[in-house]
Structure 1
């Protein structure tokens, strides 16, 4: 079973500011509740081929995985993939201008769980939807508060 979760929010800031902050993996622990650390394997800034080690806690488990940036269209789209662990995943960020200088950010996570994770896929998908919705709300609050 494929897990595919897509959520979005509108942030009252220009695309350039939202994309700049959100596409920098160093900032991930600031707005992702479950991510506790990010360590660059390659030199910043983010580019196609960049690799970063992430540590997260999800559904009571510690997850360590390496993301590689596979697509980057600055201020439009960022795609990262991992083949590590029991849940290989692809994460996509999209940014688009809406209204008068606001940004619609879409966050999509999809993957094909293996082993035990495959059996828990429906629960995992619900938990991911809840977590990513909270993460985007946290990002919105963080950026809009800094913008005031």
Structure 2
């Protein structure tokens, strides 16, 4: 079963600030649903975080613990972070994109694509709805966290 879910949100905060926070793996557990831990387990070829870097996440989804590794495929701050899973329960592709709005805010977008298998295939149609619901909450929490850090 294929999943392809995109959610966006207008956030009334400067796009560079929103993108910098969201693209920093050290904040993943603060705003991404179900993530308990995130750890940089492989640096980019040029060092640090960037194309080729890998982040290992531990999450809980549909009552199950999931450990998965995302490798950075594209990294163009502050506009784009594109990651593909290289280890985990199902093939997954996660894209964060950020664009400035005319009012000074941010259009934040998350797209998740994947092929559910095993237990997740059995979850069937509810999988896409659950992913969409989680992404809506992610963007809401992203706005809250960045606003809190900005002092307003």
Q: Residue in 2 aligned with 1:18? A: 18
Q: Residue in 2 aligned with 1:106? A: 109
- Provide the TM-score with structure 1 as the length reference: 0.93
Q: CA deviation at 1:4?
A: 1.0
Take 2:58 and 2:119, find their aligned partners in 1: how far apart are those partners?
20
Q: Which 5+ residue runs of structure 2 have no aligned equivalent?
A: none
SS of structure 1 residue aligned to 2:136? helix
- Out of 84-93 and 57-66, give the one that drifted further: 84-93
CA contact (8 A) 1:10 1:140 kept: no
Take 1:83 and 1:127, find their aligned partners in 2: how far apart are those partners?
22
CA contact (8 A) 1:41 1:52 kept: yes
For residues 22 and 102 of structure 1, do their structure 2 counterparts lie closer, same or farther at Cα, with a shift above 3 Å needed?
same
1:66-145 matches, cutoff 5 A: 66-145=69-148
Deviations for 1:114-146, whole angstroms, at most 9, x for unmatched residues? 223223231111111111101110111121232
Equivalent residue pairs, number: 148
Q: Which 5+ residue runs of structure 1 have no aligned equivalent?
A: none
CA contact (8 A) 1:3 1:121 kept: no
- Provide the TM-score with structure 2 as the length reference: 0.91
SS of structure 2 residue aligned to 1:121? coil
Q: Residue in 1 aligned with 2:35? A: 35
